Amino acid sequence: MTFDDLIPDLRARMPALRGRLLSNQSLAEFTWFRVGGAAQVLFVPEDEADLAYFLGALPDEIPVTVIGLGSNLIVRDGGVPGVVIRLSAKGFGEIEVEEGHRLRVGAAAPDVKAARAAADAGIDGLAFYRGIPGAIGIKLAHPERPVIGLTGDGGSMYTIQALWTAAHYNIGAKFVICNNHSYRLLKFNLLDYWQQQGLKPQDFPSSFPRFFDLQGPDLDFVGLARAMGVSGIRVTQPSEIAPAIQTMLNHEGPFLIDLVVDGNVPR
C-alpha cells in the first residue's frame, strides 16, 4: 500500500526542522521482528527541541504514532497512516542517575542499559530474566504455568548449557531459538553506528565482520539439545510452525524449537 506524500507540505510548514522525514518508509527495518508495512511519514527527530518544534507545527488532523527502538513491536502489513515518530538512541537514549535512588531514562534507551545503570548505581528492582536460564527460572517460580523462552541463536550460545539443567531436574520450560545464522542485532547496531558517524548508505563498508555470522559449520540446536537430554524439532517452513508449537506444548518436560528465520539485513 502506498500513501499520499505529505512531506512537501510538512517541510513548507517547518523550515527549521533538523530531523529526517521519510515518505512511505518501510517500518520493518526499524523493528526487531523486521515485518510490517510502511509509515505514511516517518520522522526521526534530532533531539527533544526538534521533536517539540515538529509537533507544534504539525496539523492537528494528522495522526501520530510514536515508537522507540521497535522492540517487541509488530506493524500491520497495511502500514500506518499519518506520522510515525521513531525516537533514536542518539537523541533520546540518555540515562541519568538522580538523587533518591532514581533513574531518568530516555524513551529510546534499551532496557538492558537501564538495568546496568541501576546496578552500577546500587539500585535494585530493575533486573530481568532472559534467554534459556530466564525461562528455567520463571518455570521454577511458576511451575503451574506454561513458560516459553525465546532467544536468538547467537545469544543462546552464551547459556546453551542451561538445557542440561532443565533436563537434569525435569524443569518443563520450553525454548524457541530464532535461528538466523548470525548475530543479526549486532549488524543492525553497526548500521546505526555508521549512520551516527555521518556515513551515507553508499559509503558503508561493503560487508559486515565475518565473526558476526554463525555458519560454517551450521549450528544444530536440536542436536545440541538432545545431547543434553532435551527433545527438540527444527522448523524451516511457515507451515511447520503451528504443528511444532503444538508438539512442544504437549510434551512433558523441557522442549526446544529451532526456528530458522531470515537472516538478511537490508542496507
pLDDT digits (tens, 9 = 90+) for 91-101: 898 999 988 88
Quick one: DSSP state of residue 40? E
Least confident of 47-61, 66-80, 216-230: 66-80
Give me the pLDDT at residue 26, please.
94
- Domain borders along the chain are 7-90, 93-126, 131-260
> 112: which strand partners?
none
As a whole number of Å, the CA-based R_g of the chain is 22
Give me the pLDDT at residue 83, please.
97
* 142: pLDDT strictly greater than 60: yes
Least confident of 2-11, 86-95, 242-251: 86-95
In this prediction, residue 182 has a pLDDT band, given cuts at 50, 70 and 90, of: confident
By the 8 A CB rule, do 201 and 226 touch?
Answer: no
Give me the pLDDT at residue 147, please.
94
Query: What's the mean pLDDT in 42-61?
Result: 96
- Exposure string of 42-76, with b = 16+ CB inside 10 Å and e = fewer, is bbbbbeeebbebbeeebeeeeeeeebbbbeeeebe
pLDDT digits (tens, 9 = 90+) for 185-213: 778 778 877 877 888 887 788 788 887 88
Query: What's the mean pLDDT in 59-63?
Result: 96
User: Which range in 19-33, 42-56, 81-95 is most confidently predicted, on average pLDDT?
Assistant: 42-56
In this prediction, residue 128 has a pLDDT band, given cuts at 50, 70 and 90, of: low
Give me the pLDDT at residue 32, please.
76
Query: What's the mean pLDDT in 144-165?
Result: 92
CATH code for the part of the protein at 7-90: 3.30.43.10
* 125: pLDDT strictly greater than 70: no
Which helix (H) or strand (E) element contains residue 5?
A: none
Please, what sign has the CA dihedral across residues 215, 216, 222, 226? negative
Angle formed at CA 214 by CA 73 and CA 160, multiple of 5 degrees: 75
* 17: pLDDT strictly greater than 90: yes
pTM of the full structure: 0.55
**Cα–Cα distance measured from residue 62 to residue 80, given in angstroms and rounded to the nearest whole number:** 12
Establish how many alpha carbons lie within 13 A of residue 14's alpha carbon, considering only the half-sphere containing its beta carbon. Answer: 23
Query: What's the mean pLDDT in 109-138?
Result: 81
Query: Which cell numbers in the block locate residue 191?
Result: 548500521
In this prediction, residue 129 has a pLDDT band, given cuts at 50, 70 and 90, of: low
**Cα–Cα distance measured from residue 105 to residue 113, given in angstroms and rounded to the nearest whole number:** 9
Per CATH, domain 131-260 is 3.20.20.60: no
Query: Which cell numbers in the block locate residue 51?
Result: 521533536
Please, what sign has the CA dihedral across residues 219, 220, 226, 232? positive
What letter represents residue 171's amino acid? I
